[in-house]
Amino acid sequence: MEPLLEFPNHVVLVFAAMAVGFGVGPLILARIWALTFSPRKPGIEKSSNYECGLASAGDPGGNQNIHYYLYAIVFLVFDVESIFLIPFAAAYTSLSIGALLTMAVFLLLLAEGLVWAWLKGVLTWY
Amino acid sequence: MSRSLNPTSDLRAQGVVVTSIQDFYNWGRKNSVWPLQFGLACCAIEMIASTMARYDMARFGSEVFRPSPRQADLMIVSGTVTKKMVPQIVRLYNQMAEPKYVIAMGACAISGGPFKQGYNVLKGIDRYIPVDVHIPGCPPRPEALIHALMTLQEKIGNQQLTGESRPRHLRANAPSEFLIPVQGPHDVEPPFNPDVWNAPKVPARG
């Protein structure tokens, strides 16, 4: 049986060249234009951060407090827990003792994680 | 019958349109003038009205008000400029990318207008930044703003790409940023930037 479609590979190369040219071409043209006609004029104020016209308060790339992310992770623990707990509660009467034990282990692990985070001081906002 | 020596009009008569890079460049620029999105006083209401359906500034390619100076071509100083506000306006102008243009909208932005005697009102934004088009009026009607935009388009369309008469943004030694005044004990310091334009001195009334 013949292949359904003889795919010409060189078309891919043509498309790839066009895609790269479409992206890089305007950048090259813009650079040529700038070098020919429009001189670059960088400056301290011009390059400073845009803060609605007020003087820039400093570098936005500085260190950020990790605390929020730890807090968010602890929230996610309870978020995921509720996703499992609601169907568990809905089907509770028809579940076996094995399912109950599995859920107990799951809850215990999550509670353990919460106790660990609590002891590490993650829940204390400062 | 003498034959025309202008190849452009000959070609145009045959239905072929030719243009120069300069005209093409200016045509593109003047029909996509994006203003910076901010309003200072009551003139801003007229500016907002001129962008809405009744006056429809979108017909001129200028409906895209940009919330960032990096993407804006035009600063419309629409209203009273207080001395508290001057540093912010000049800094926003400095942060705009070249080429950039300024429309001083209304009597206040031109000269201080009805609040000229006020202790905290700047007597014209052209003390600190170069203004391309002034619109009189208190406030100017949206038609006046559209006329100012058309005047600016005409100005952009006539700008030279090379040569001695080329505009500021194409000159390597011409400034792209202007001095930002600071709040002094009695006035903004300096009271005007002599490098931009000298405000005419009005004799005090005896």
Give this complex's ipTM. Answer: 0.71
Higher pLDDT, B111 or B195: B111
Nearest-CA neighbor of B170 among B162, B181, B179?
A: B162
The pLDDT score that the predictor gives to residue A31 is 93
| Other Cβ atoms within 10 Å of A66 Cβ, number | 8
Whether residue B114 has a cis bond before it, omega within 30° of 0: no
Q: Which helix (H) or strand (E) holds B147?
A: helix B142-157
A30 and A71 within one domain: no
Q: Which of B10-14, B71-75, B150-154 has the lowest mean pLDDT?
A: B10-14
pTM (predicted TM-score): 0.74
Residue A60 belongs to a domain:
no
pLDDT in tens, B23-41: 999 999 999 999 999 999 9
Contacts of B114 (CB under 8 A, 6+ apart): B107, B108, B138
The pLDDT of B58-86, averaged and rounded, is 92
pLDDT, mean over chain A:
86
Domains contained in chain A, number? 2
Write down the H helix ranges in chain A. Answer: 9-36, 44-47, 67-90, 97-119
Which amino acid is it at B132?
Answer: D
A29 and A72 within one domain: no
Q: Which of A62-76, A92-106, B53-67, B99-113 has the lowest mean pLDDT?
A: A62-76
- Beta-ladder partners of B31: none
Residue A110 belongs to a domain:
yes
CATH code, B20-154: 3.40.50.12280
Residue A16 belongs to a domain:
yes
Residue A44 belongs to a domain:
no
> How many Å lie between the alpha carbon of B1 and the closest alpha carbon of chain A?
42
Q: Where are the domains of chain B?
A: 20-154
Q: How far apart are the first and last CA of chain B?
A: 70
> pLDDT band at A55, cuts 50/70/90?
confident
User: Angle between the A97-119 and A67-90 helix axes, to the nearest 10 degrees?
Assistant: 160
> How many Å lie between the alpha carbon of A63 and the closest alpha carbon of chain B?
25
The pLDDT score that the predictor gives to residue B152 is 95
Nearest-by-CA chain B residue for A41:
B176
pLDDT, mean over chain B:
89
The pLDDT score that the predictor gives to residue A113 is 87
CB contact under 8 A, B95 and A48: yes
What is the C-alpha to C-alpha distance for residues B30 and B150, in angstroms, rounded to an integer?
Answer: 9
**How long a stretch of residues is chain A?**
126
> How many Å lie between the alpha carbon of A109 and the closest alpha carbon of chain B?
49
- Which structural domain range is residue A102 located in? 67-119
- Beta-ladder partners of B74: B35, B101
Structure tokens of A54? 């007020």
Residue A15 belongs to a domain:
yes
Residue A52 belongs to a domain:
no
- Residue B69 reports pLDDT greater than 60: yes
A73 and A32 within one domain: no
The pLDDT score that the predictor gives to residue B151 is 95
Chain A residue numbers with beta carbons less than 8 Å from the beta carbon of B97 are 46
Give the count of Cβ contacts less than 8 A between chain A and B.
45
Residue A56 belongs to a domain:
no
Residue A61 belongs to a domain:
no
pLDDT in tens, A58-108: 777 777 777 888 888 888 888 888 898 999 999 989 989 999 999 999 999
